[in-house]
Amino acid sequence: MADVGILVEATKTIFAWPNVLLILLGVLIGIIGGALPGVGGALTVAIAMPFTLGMGSTSAIIFLMAIYNGVMYGGSISSILFNVPGDSSAAATAIEGYPMTKQGRAIDALTISALSSGLGDLFGAIVIILLMPVMVSLVLMFGTPEYFLIAVFGLSLIIVVSDGSFLKDVMAGGFGALIATIGVAPMSVSERYTFGMLGLYDGVNFVAALIGIFAISEMLRLSLRDGSISRDGDVSLSGSVKSGISDVLSKPLTLIKSSSIGLLVGAIPGSGGSVSTFIAYGEAKRSSADPDSFGTGVEDGVIATESANNATVSGALIPTLTFGIPGSTTTAVLIGALMLHGLRPGPALFDEQIGLTYSIFATLVVCSVVIIVFGLLVVRWAGYITTVNTDLIIPVIVCLSVLGAYSLHSNYIDVFVVLVMGIVGYLMDGYGYSLVAFLLGLILGPIAEENLYRSLQLSGGSFDIFLATPLRIVLVAMILFVVVGPYVRPLFDQLHRRATNQ
């Protein structure tokens, strides 16, 4: 069971002033950012991050977590109303949500989305809080060699997240790791790729790189879109909040099952809401008494996708907080936020900083209530968010990005990094290079390098240290399984078919 004393203190922290206001403001900002296609979670959090520098670390993380939660719900608004997903994780919601709008049941769909998102969020947060002692015990088993192996395992997941050219994804991951080597080498005085520029001695600022990759590159893509997001200024909303609430409460099995899927899939690094929502949708259709009706505006489809979507938040935070492996692109940005405030994922968050970790998940519980209340109160006006013209969105976000980058260290090098990485991100996406793989390399490359150096110092240069305990052997086996599995499985399938034919 969770440590009740720490949980009570965490609850007091999030309800203390100004944290409770930051939660309300964060959810509202997240909903707006999520409802605007081309913005989304990672970009919204990345832009907000530099402006948290004046806050305490706990208040800053609470604020950014609230934004993250709001984004996960907000993406469904444009998805339901205009068949234009605000975020990749909201794409599955459009399958049933948009047909409901065309049937004159937009308010029903938006109500189902808000209530399902809030309840999915609540389910995920409560489960993680109950499992916290197990997570604490697990994380404290890890030392320097284990963290090197975990970092290598995270890098090997590039194979898993690859959805295009495997070679391109490996190159993207390698490029991310290469960018991370700029600056003074860890635990030495060797300069690498600084070109004599003092501003690069500390390396490429991780937060500035994230802002460029997400904000500037997305705005370059959005600049190709004319007019407003909805492509039509007329927003007609009809339906009933009461019937939407009734639809959700009458499907508890779908709600719990889909939230569980979101939680479990979210815990797999690199998967995120875009994967969990389609899996939850597929399961809802499979288990339905009338699967042929799916695609015509079935309530179960919206319940499944939206509850899974927000439960994914809690799941994605598991690898993020425990090992520093991003569960999604947005949690990759949150790792940057932790580092910006002097925090590092790993044992410290489950030992001397356990109060902050409890505060994070307690924030999710409060956010679930706020999402439900906001969603139900503003459901009749939600559609107007998506009528904002892109000509207004682009300059505002570019200015915020540049100001945010400069505010990091009052350093023009960071502004240069934002602009260059924005162009790099735009070109990478345009030519099919995975940004997820790039982020894995950028985040995990330095972790692997530093822990390899320390491990070899501890062992006197012997690599036997990585096989010295059962846990390390298991981690090595996991790495080999991920790397070799895709090549071995076709061979086993071929042997199985031959045996079956004989």
Residue 184: strand pairing partners? 191
Residue 489 has pLDDT above 80, yes or no: no
Is residue 372 a contact partner of residue 307, using CB atoms and an 8 Å limit? no
Q: Choose among 225, 224, 197, 204: nearest CA to 421.
A: 204
**Which secondary structure element, helix H or strand E, spans residue 314, and what is its range?**
helix 299-323
pLDDT band at 423 (very low <50, low <70, confident <90, very high): very high
What's the pLDDT score for residue 427? Answer: 92
Cα–Cα dist 151/154, whole Å: 5
In this predicted structure, which of 9-23, 73-87, 170-184, 449-463 has the lowest mean pLDDT? 73-87
CB pairs under 8 A, 24+ apart, for 141-145?
A: 141/471, 142/323, 142/346, 142/347, 142/471, 144/451, 144/454, 144/455, 144/458, 145/451, 145/455, 145/458, 145/465, 145/466, 145/468, 145/472
Interior/surface letters 336-365, b for 16+ CB within 10 angstroms, e for the rest? bbbbbbebebbbebbeebbbbbbbbbbbbb
Q: Choose among 57, 52, 109, 59: nearest CA to 80.
A: 109
- E strands, 168-294, are 183-184, 191-192
What's the pLDDT score for residue 202? Answer: 79
176-211 per-position pLDDT tens digit: 889 988 888 877 778 888 887 777 787 887 778 877
What's the pLDDT score for residue 25? Answer: 92
What is the tally of helices (H) and strands (E) in the chain?
Answer: 21, 2
Longest dimension (CA), the chain: 73
Is residue 426 a contact partner of residue 216, using CB atoms and an 8 Å limit? yes
Is residue 110 a contact partner of residue 375, using CB atoms and an 8 Å limit? yes
**Entry pTM:** 0.72
Tell me, what amino acid is at 144? T
* Whole-angstrom Cα Rg for the chain: 23
Q: Name the token pair of 20.
A: 């409770």
Q: Which residues contact 268 (CB under 8 A, 6 or more apart)?
A: 275, 315, 319, 327
Tokens 């790993």 belong to residue: 346
Distances (CA, A) of 64 to 58, 59, 253: 10, 9, 31
Distances (CA, A) of 193 to 120, 182, 341: 46, 5, 26
Mean pLDDT over residues 146-162, rounded? Answer: 77
pLDDT band at 233 (very low <50, low <70, confident <90, very high): very low
The SS3 call for residue 256 is: helix
pLDDT above 70 covers a percentage of the chain that reads 86
Is residue 96 a contact partner of residue 328, using CB atoms and an 8 Å limit? no
68-109 per-position pLDDT tens digit: 888 888 878 877 876 666 666 677 788 888 888 878 788 888
pLDDT band at 274 (very low <50, low <70, confident <90, very high): low
Pure H helices in 324-432: 329-340, 354-377, 390-409, 412-430
What's the pLDDT score for residue 238? Answer: 66
In this predicted structure, which of 79-83, 124-128, 225-229 has the lowest mean pLDDT? 225-229
The SS3 call for residue 378 is: coil
* Inter-axis angle of helices 299-323 and 93-102, nearest 10: 150
Average per-residue pLDDT in the chain?
80
